[in-house]
Structure 1
Amino acid sequence: MHTAADFGPHAARVPPREAPAHPLADLFLPGKGEPQRWVSHQRHELLLVEHSRFQAAFSRQGGQLLHFQPRGQRPWLWCARHWPKGGAIRGGVPVCWPWFGRHPAEPGWPSHGWARLSDWQLLASETDEQGMRLTWQLELCDWTVTLRAELGEGMRLRLSTRHQDTQACQLSHALHAYWQVSDVARIALLGLDGAAGYDLLARSDCQQQGELRIEDGCHRIFRRGGPLLLQDLAWQRRLAIDTSGAANSVVWHPGSRPLTDVGWNETLGFVCVEAASCGPDSLCLAPGDEALLCLQASLD
């Protein structure tokens, strides 16, 4: 296991894989100086956010945070270069709602629900010297889902769902974050030692032992939320990721399995570490109930 000494000034230096520029970097034009600006990119409406502490971008489709980069740092979130027409955008932090994965009863319905395919409304944004707070909302049938994003030196996302139907309903949801890394084969995730879960690739129960490393793919749903540490030795970076309050921490990477519209070299640059409540840990909401899900990250 790596220690803090591995990140010190005398750590062995291994040249990192050269990461391509973030696909949204060219949208942030020098000299614009506008704190918020709407643009069109690949047939999607994007909100670009400029602050003295960070840059960020959201998509109206999905209310999705696509890019977050504190000043002087590498981007924290990965995003695909090519987006499908009318489909979900792969990257950033998609909101999987009101179901995670395939719908349990309707195989023809979209994977991970309607939220990431729907246009959200920007309700409010507030700015101060510490950062910015934005509130997005989607109303669908008898459901209202709200995403509050707090961005500054770190990021915090808070997803709340209010159920107004007259009958109890089942809910599973996730904040499906794609974290940008130097090389997925050279990173480690700490904080899951001893956690039990289910391995969707092996189709069997699993229990994590020590740090988690990606070896030709990973799709594990752990029955634990809490503080995690994403170590990236090549970039000399450690991100503290917190899924506290969630029933599950999900770790996913496709390995050598192809992804539509994503090149193999692109897939080396991310790992998904998600906050979720899904599968046997899905929620049953009575009329008037509210469900909360949080995901936050900071530089360790």
Structure 2
Amino acid sequence: MEFSESVKLARTETGLEYFEVNSPLCQAKIFLQGAQLTEFIPTGKADLMWVSADEDYQEGKSVRGGIPICWPWFGTHENPDWPAHGVARKVVWRAEQVIETAEAVRISLSLPMVMIDDTYWPHESRLEVEFILSDALEVRLTNTNLGNEPFSLTQALHTYLPTSDIKATQVDGLQGAQFIEFGEGPFKQDGIVEFARETDMVYTQAAPVQTIRTPDGVIEVSRENSTSCVLWNPWIAKSKRLSNFQDEEYLGMLCLEAANVLEDIATVEPGQSHTLMTKVRWL
């Protein structure tokens, strides 16, 4: 099935459906399960997404890489029996719109709320995500309150990014932000971040733009309606415990995630919307 000249619906050998984008501006893949983008290759440049070589694309299982959508909570819920990172990553989303112009391909999906157990999310709301694909990648996650009471949530666009050598990779632009790591803090980020151990920093009061210097080039990550972000690399020991993750793959990836967490929690009033946006591009 084709949606535009450059966009068609394809299927993995395991049966998962995804949008396949081959436009003059870029190539991309966006899975309906989880509304998860797993590939974004600007024309003439390298893929901006990282996916594990062990990924097997199974139904009901979030892909290890790309941009999983963590919603309506990030990380471990206070109820330990509830699923980590919420309930949106494993649900098949509904394709809403595909628009192609000379400037961008825009693909919108919505989460069918009938699929979400109201034990986890009892609120009347709509959740949509729009991918704007050009020479850069923009992702816009919009919560709309359709009820009569405000609701609050935490969320993240859990972006896996590539590097050829994590030990030669630096993250600039977090200076001055506060962070919590492994339940300790907050601490103040003083300098450029380098990687020599497991890293799991949850930042608040963060500037809206960071740059990642890799041996392959510089990646810029920016955010809107978000003053929090997460920086993650599992390093050696945790890599051996992760599903769909090879022992040495920590050397070739990192996550820098736009978020609404901790004091940056998102509260949406009745009739209002909140859009978490991230934009990723090669400089």
- TM-score bin (small chain): 0.7 to 0.9
Decide which moves more: 159-168 or 177-186: 159-168
- Matches of 1:244 and 1:127, distance apart in 2: 24
* Counterpart residue identity of residue 130, structure 2: R
Q: Distance in 2 between matches of 1:87 and 1:155?
A: 24
CA contact (8 A) 1:225 1:275 kept: no
Q: 1:1-300 alignment to 2 at 5 Å?
A: 35-41=6-12, 42-81=14-53, 82-83=55-56, 84-104=58-78, 106-140=79-113, 142-199=124-181, 201=182, 203-223=184-204, 224-232=206-214, 234-235=215-216, 237-256=217-236, 257=238, 258=240, 259-300=242-283
CA offsets 1:1-60 (integer angstroms, 9 cap, x no match): xxxxxxxxxxxxxxxxxxxxxxxxxxxxxxxx9612222223311211100111000000
Q: Deviations over 1:111-157 (max 9, x none)?
A: 11111111111111111222211111113252211111111111111
Q: Is the 8 A contact 1:92 1:178 kept in 2?
A: yes
Segments of structure 1 that go 5 or more residues without pairing to the other structure are 1-32
Give the letter aligned to residue 224 of structure 2. S
Question: Alignment length, in residue pairs?
Answer: 264
Q: How many angstroms apart in 2 are the aligned matches of 1:261 and 1:239? A: 25
* Aligned-CA RMSD value: 1.8
Quick one: distance in 1 between partners of 2:125 and 2:92?
Answer: 15
Query: In structure 2, what is the Cα distance between the partners aligned to 1:225 and 1:210?
Result: 14
1:202 CA drift (Å): 6.0
Normalization by structure 1: what TM-score? 0.83
Counterpart Cα distance in 2 of 1:112 and 1:143? 19
- Percent identical pairs in the alignment equals 25
TM-score where L is the length of structure 2: 0.88
- Secondary structure, aligned partner of 1:93: coil
Structure 2: give runs of 5+ residues left out of the alignment.
115-123
Note the C-alpha offset of 1:92.
0.7
